[in-house]
Chains A and B, each alone.
Chain A
Amino acid sequence: MNSSFLRFSSITKKIWMAFLGIFLMIFLVIHLGINLCLLRGDGGAWFNAAAHFMGTNYIVKVFEVVLFAGFIFHILIGIILQIQNWMARPIRYKVNNKTYTPFLSKYMIYTGGIVLVFLIIHFMNFYFIKLGWVSNPHISNGEPDFYLIAPELFIQPFYSFLYIVLFIILGFHLNHAFQAAWQTLGVNHPQYNNCIHWFGTLYAILIPLGFIIIPIFFLFIR
């Protein structure tokens, strides 16, 4: 599988990377929407309804597979591209490059890597519970009750701190990713370049901010 990946041209890989990235960014919006239900003081009615829908609907089930594939390929292609990029300059420069480039655009593999670490923790805390791989004391109606699980995690200051930091890093990742995806897909025109840029920045601020509000809420407000 690996070798057939390598045979794809650089641009093909990049285009997949961009498509998958955009797909994941859309997913993030949905995910945030569900998470924000936690903030409603409704005893988890909305939240659990959404979680139930996501856990049982067949279309969502199919999409879940697509989503996982999306994550895996996005990460895999990212790693392959990075290894090729390192190989393209076997002898490095002595003086670090001083060319002006957009902030953090050079560190996508690192921000991506950190996000991956978060993803694993996240899986251990939520998704594996759902699958029943990890034991869990909160069960309601035969399903794990995430409305109760989440606050348990967020009231731990260390966990919340980590959560916040990781979402800031995800923000950096998204900030470059958003406009880079469009550039890779060939969308570049003076007429709307600024629009893409600002929308991307806005997205990269609002989405992590949305996620970050939740631990803050549980730590300080509730």
Chain B
Amino acid sequence: MSELNSKIPAGPLSSKWTQYKNHQNLVNPNNKRKLDIIVVGTGLAGASAAASLGEMGFNVKIFCYQDSPRRAHSIAAQGGINAAKNYPNDGDSIYRLFYDTIKGGDYRAREANVYRLAEVSNAIIDQCVAQGVPFAREYGGSLENRSFGGAQVSRTFFARGQTGQQLLLGAYSALSRQIKLGTVKMFNRHEMMDVVIVEGKARGIIARDLISGKLERHFGHAVVVASGGYANVFYLSTNAMGSNASAIWQIFKKGAFFANPCFTQIHPTCIPVHGDYQSKLTLMSESLRNDGRIWVPKKKEDAEANRHGKLKANDIPEDARDYFLERRYPAFGNLVPRDVASRAAKERCDAGYGVGETGLAVFLDFKESIGRLGRHVIEERYGNLFQMYEKIVDENPYENPMMIYPAVHYTMGGIWVDYELMTSITGLFAAGEANFSDHGANRLGASALMQGLADGYFVLPYTLQNYLAGEIKVPRMSTGKAEFVEAQKNVQLRLEKLMAIKGKHTVDHFHKELGKIMWENVGMGRTEARLKKAIELIRKLRAEFWKEVKIPGTLNELNVELEKANRVADFMEMGELIALDALNRNESCGGHFREEYQTDEGECLRNDQDYKYVAAWEYKGEGNFQLHKESLVYEETEVKQRVYK
């Protein structure tokens, strides 16, 4: 086991980033033109990085699997973006944002990275405003803020319930400008299939043109992977249908370490599953818990009757209702953090008190607040969400309580990166949700947008330049080089192998099966036995997949099933690593809850003695992973227990 070098600059925490920038290497404008950078993914991190690097004068090639860079799933983020502007004068500061993020992450994030994130957060807001992002305003014309979970200050900037969309469109517009200027070349409907490594350094990728099905070789002096998270390993998640982990899984197989894969976030307020044909879960904003009360029936018979459609929620009398969050967490009530609320709902449903057709739902009731505040107030606050709910479920949430259930939403884990966002492969960088760096074991609301844009606008342009300063003498390589040919051949072989299976079951069949295994055993509550069982089941399923998957069509054409099969093949391997990491981490922290490790009241029991480290896994062949540890040192923060009672 080698010690991982995170390359954190020396000096006090608050001056590390300044020190870094003061002493980093630069590339002069003439040389920038001669250097090529490949960016994979056009979400907040990818688009902002490509635009910024293009502006600086580098040659950028950017890839996305969608038809347009504007479709990346960052677009679906609702709530907002944090920044330490302290406009409301409520005592916010860079340090406080840093501290809240570290604490919210349950002390499993790297201090220096998080501090830098907090430090650049203000510049992100400035940048986005200059780009014309229509943030909410006060009557005086200044920017408006609201409060969000996990903080005592109002530091969240927002554009209605579509902040992610507006920020992404801002980055997309900056990217579009560079495409027009010719500094960035766009490859839409292209999927990265593998990374090409020449003499130990990342030098390009193999991409598949999804329209023609042809494999292409692309050279770059450096490669940035910003392909998002891996929540779709659970099949049902709030991620987009196409969101996949293939890019990060391929670089993992080529030597980039994978850090903390078991840190997955489960969001408590999603619309429940309604049938086995369901393809996707829809998130309802966390803000609903401000006025809604969560409950299930006290009696199992009532729950059962409701499941069979014989007893309506409104017919269950007040004294037969169990407001379990208020009961268990009197201090925070319905406003406990995401992980806590999710686990409590699951506990009730597992115990047989779940409602709805499937029994996998709890009520979120607004009757009391409608009575107290009037329907118009609730309509004003949540009108669009109520309307969305009604469209999907076909039930009026003003009259009947909503039904909600937790769903996989975000993955804190990801590719291990150092302070410069470089992976363990030289010249290969990972940004945004694809890396592991800033959220520890649990991410706070409105922090994902902040991290994606921080990486793309304000970190990579510096750190990539520092790396490329050493590459100015490397001429553009021909993609006819043996390493490129070899990489392409391997991708070709893998795709041919998939096509040759011609089995009995569709790709979705296997994906759903995998999702079930993951959700039941590696979901909200994990135990040693279940994790071991999951590993066994995944291995079996994977073997079956490679024997029985059925892919229609051919290789050299638009073949959606082949695209899906390729992604699911990677999820099949990744699921095992997630379970293995969860098994290794004998503690509960943030989104990772091991039922063996809980307090008497059922709360997370962290083990700082043995597990205050980043678990970075190295690929050693299929189903064979080696653990490396990066110890976490907390100089500026006191490591404490999170209490919400």
Check whether chain A touches chain B (CB < 8 angstroms): no
